[in-house]
Structure 1
Amino acid sequence: MAGGLITDFSIHLHADYSSAILPLIRREDISLILLNIRNDHLTGMGLCEQIRRESPVPIILLGGSSDFDLARKALMFDVSDYLTDPVNPEELARSLEAVKRKLGPLSRSNTPSQAVGEAAGERDSAASCSIINTIKQYVDEQLHQNITLKRISDSLNFNCAYLGQKFKQHENMSFNEYLLRQRMEKAKLLLETTEMKIYEIADAVGYTEMDWFYKKFREYTGTSANEYRKQCFITA
């Protein structure tokens, strides 16, 4: 399926079967592909791989799952965006606008080599953003596990030092600082809203050693976990 839904995009072609898409790409001038993978994620990923062998055309995947491995595969195929099911119309609109901005320099610039360079730079920036979002999604889903940037970089087939540098540039903090913040904020939320035992909360945010959890929590909040919970009950 090719085309778009906002300014400067129009539905140009439509394909009901994946086998019809590659011939369309070969003979038509297509600037964007919207690919609905809601009913068959694996076939959708296979089609992305085939498209990438022949064309750098931007692809937005619609109706994906929240499964980290599928998002990682989409990233490897340089997909412009991966929208989970159900697709949010506002998110789709933002994705289309982002693609439009990437395509813009090619049509506005008078210098072809400069235009290609600018477009490549924007694609790299967008790819970095997608990588960072994938990392953050992984952290959110696996917060209770032993998370390391090395493990994530291996799963994404990236150099760990490179990924750490990109993350710091994008988030203005190191990956470990981000991970600590997510764990401590989740711990605070659980202390505020549940009756879970402290050791259960520590385990839920990825700490198997209680002394280490107590130390990190005090460093982060300036108080102990027990004192923090008491303060919440008093203020409530």
Structure 2
Amino acid sequence: MYNVLLIDFDKRSREAFANKINWKHHGFTLQTFENSFSALLSVCKQRHYDMILINLKGSQVHGLDVCKSIRNISSIPILLIGGSKDFQFVRESIRLQVIDYLPAPITLVEFTKTLVSLKQILQKEKINFNLKPSHSLKTSPKRNIADIIDEVKRQVEASLNRHITLKEISDELHYNCCYLGQKFKTYENMTFPEYVLIRRMEKAKYLLSHTDLKIYQVAAEVGFSDLDWFYKKFKAHTGVTASVFRKNTSSSSLSSLVV
């Protein structure tokens, strides 16, 4: 079972999430947070959770503040729900490395599918979400290679909208590029360019599903200046064109989960 902490200051929607979802059936246990924001970080530090679910209903800004505060002490997966498709907000959520974002209105079917998908990610990557200082990698005198690989991946996520090379990252981290490339392939079971392309395609899917950006704007946001090349790579990655993908992932008009 994976432990999920629901941060939701609205009693009705908190109860809806607790009662409408068969959490145990999907391999999760749910705990809700009802106290003040000042007590939140203490709860996150003292207890172990595998994922945090933040309901943005009422205030996206406040929700992002909560997300930022958690990010200062932990890399735990965060699922944001109930916000808008505003591009700047979506961009900020990506920067904070949320594991997924479901804009309102949220349907029961959509949320359940997301839970199943997230469980598969947790199982596949066997993620250990112990709290650690956000800058521990830079301050620690001895850097574990696994931490270095994580830092490489963080830099990739922050640079998906521009050209990024392993040489650039290795120089910044003071590592030999060939050595780092070999270690990256060993840890990720793929080369650095393969990883970057996958992350670009996943971000493109995210933007197509969660924003109203034009396809050429999505292409630019994931580092493609050649739209035809983006179309080719996207179809090779997903099996469908970007326009078809967006159509297939449009929100259905089923009963809403968030009340």
Q: TM-score, normalised by structure 2?
A: 0.49
**In the alignment, residue 54 of structure 1 is paired with which amino acid?**
I
Deviations 1:139-196 (A, max 9, x none): 85547xxx5567x42xxxx6446999787544328xxx857x99xx9xxxxxxxxxxx
Q: Which residue of 2 aligns with 1:172?
A: 236
Structure 2 unmatched runs, 5+: 7-20, 128-145, 151-186, 248-259
Structure-1 separation of matches of 2:101 and 2:198:
12
8 Å contact from structure 2 (residues 81, 102) kept in 1: yes
Structure-2 separation of matches of 1:126 and 1:22:
33
| Partner SS for 2:30 | coil
Shift of 1:15: 3.6
Runs of 4+ in 1 over 4 A off after TM superposition: 116-119, 123-130, 137-143, 147-150, 158-168
Q: Which residue of 2 aligns with 1:72?
A: 91
CA 1:163–1:96: 2 relative to 1, 3 Å:
farther
Answer yes or no: is 1:94 the counterpart of 2:116.
no
Structure-2 separation of matches of 1:162 and 1:129:
14
Structure-1 separation of matches of 2:34 and 2:63:
13
8 Å contact from structure 2 (residues 87, 211) kept in 1: no
Structure-1 separation of matches of 2:71 and 2:225:
27
Higher helix share: 1
Structure-2 separation of matches of 1:134 and 1:107:
23
8 Å contact from structure 1 (residues 105, 118) kept in 2: no
Matches within 5 A, 1:55-134: 55-105=74-124, 117=187, 128=200, 130-134=202-206
Answer yes or no: is 1:136 the counterpart of 2:208.
yes
Q: Which residue of 1 aligns with 2:14?
A: none
Q: Which moved more, 1:34-43 or 1:45-54?
A: 45-54
Identity %: 21
Structure 1 unmatched runs, 5+: 186-236
| Partner SS for 1:10 | strand
Structure-2 separation of matches of 1:134 and 1:84:
11
**In the alignment, residue 85 of structure 1 is paired with which amino acid?**
A
| Partner SS for 2:53 | strand
**In the alignment, residue 205 of structure 2 is paired with which amino acid?**
N
8 Å contact from structure 2 (residues 103, 210) kept in 1: no
CA 1:54–1:60: 2 relative to 1, 3 Å:
same
Shift of 1:135: 3.6
8 Å contact from structure 1 (residues 38, 63) kept in 2: yes
8 Å contact from structure 1 (residues 52, 77) kept in 2: yes
Shift of 1:125: 9.3
Q: Which residue of 1 aligns with 2:41?
A: 22
Shift of 1:105: 3.6
1:36 to 49, 55, 63: 55
Structure-2 separation of matches of 1:132 and 1:81:
13
8 Å contact from structure 1 (residues 64, 83) kept in 2: yes
Give 1 or 2 for the bigger CA radius of gyration.
1
**Count of paired positions:** 164
Q: Which residue of 1 aligns with 2:30?
A: 11
CA 1:149–1:129: 2 relative to 1, 3 Å:
closer
Structure-1 separation of matches of 2:125 and 2:208:
31
| Partner SS for 1:33 | strand
